[in-house]
Amino acid sequence: MKKNAVLIIDPQNSFCNPGDAAGNNRGSLFVEGADKDMKRLAKWIDNNSQEIDFIGVTLDMHQPNDIAHPSFWQDKQGNFPAPFTVITSKDVENGTWTPRFDPATCLAYLRELEKQGEFPHVIWPAHCIIGSEGAAIYEPLMQSIIKWTEQGKFFQTVAKGTYPFTEHFGAFHAQIPDPKRPETQLNHNLIKTLEQYQNVYLAGEAKSHCVANSLKQVLNEAPSLASKFIIIEDCMSNVTGFETLADPIYEKARKMGVRFTSTASESSLK
């Protein structure tokens, strides 16, 4: 069995680029601390290049009109919601907010999401638009990945979020999978790939959302794989305002024996 895999969740400019001193090129959904997280991760990869057998990178990929973007919704005056607005099924039923595309599908989605009772439907600033600079991997990390491949290795990318009628936080399936859309369903190929390794190091952005959901999904859908996971805690940060949202997921992971580490405490792999 190969030893060390690294799964990096959404290390993209929309989340990780702090911009310059004037704020130019700042990621549209910049996660405070994400740039430092990814630079730590890049250095850790450089330091452990020979010991890392596999690098997988999930990439958030959205249409401009996505169920979690402002332009997907309008109020009675035709205005789009401001970023970080929470939209509920009741808001749709009473006409506070109306989806501009396939209202029946959207209402059903919100109802199913609310049954989960965990993540509210938040409207984010438009981010990780397919083909845009915001969707690209943050450059300091990208350079370390390229350097790692020069040993004769290949990294793998996994696109998520391309179907605009559901959020797709986690690496393994959408929040509400659509049986007619394979890209929203459980990613068996990714699970099979990771199962080949003794350890799977998990890092990325954001701790409160996409990393947490990736962890939750593997705990629920592939517990034998979850036992291989090692969370690199200093290579992820929370979305501001959601610092405790995913605490129950991480607490469950600890109870199930998932290991936690940092780049400082595990500076070199063996």
Q: Which residues of the chain have pLDDT under 70?
A: 1, 266-268, 270
Give the pLDDT of residue 52: 97
Using alpha carbons, select from 21, 268, 14 the residue that is nearest to residue 128: 14
Predicted confidence at residue 270, as pLDDT, reads: 63
pTM for the model? 0.95
Cβ-in-10-Å burial (0-12, 13-18, 19+) of 231 comes to buried
Sign of CA dihedral 118, 121, 125, 129: positive
pLDDT in tens, 152-178: 999 999 999 999 999 999 999 999 999
**What pLDDT does residue 132 have?**
98
Between the alpha carbon of residue 10 and those of residues 22, 110, 168, 236, 264, the distances in Å are 25, 24, 11, 10, 22
Q: For residue 66, give the nearest of 127, 134, 131 by alpha carbon.
A: 127
Tokens 């500076």, located at residue: 267
The pLDDT assigned to 21 comes to 86
Using CA atoms in the order 51, 54, 60, 63, what is the torsion angle rounded to 10 degrees? 140
What local confidence, expressed as pLDDT, does residue 204 receive?
98
SS3 percent helix, strand, coil of the chain, rounded to 5, is 35, 15, 45
What is the three-class DSSP state of 105?
helix
Neighbouring C-beta atoms of residue 218, cutoff 10 Å? 27
Bridge partners of residue 98, in order along the sequence: 74
Residue reference for tokens 């209402």: 107
Model pLDDT, residue 264? 87
pLDDT at position 1: 65
User: What is the CATH T-level fold of the domain 2-63+128-261, as seen in this structure?
Assistant: Rossmann fold (3.40.50)
Burial of 108 (0-12, 13-18, 19+ CB in 10 A): middle
Token pair 């370390």 is found at 144
In the three-class reduction of DSSP (H, G, I as helix; E, B as strand; rest coil), residue 14 is classed as helix
Q: Burial, 21: exposed, middle or buried (Cβ in 10 Å; 0-12, 13-18, 19+)? A: exposed
Contact 31, 17 (CB under 8 A): no
Max distance between CA atoms of the chain, in angstroms, equals 61
Question: What does DSSP assign to residue 242?
Answer: -
Domain ranges of the chain: 2-63+128-261, 70-116
DSSP letter assigned to residue 72: G
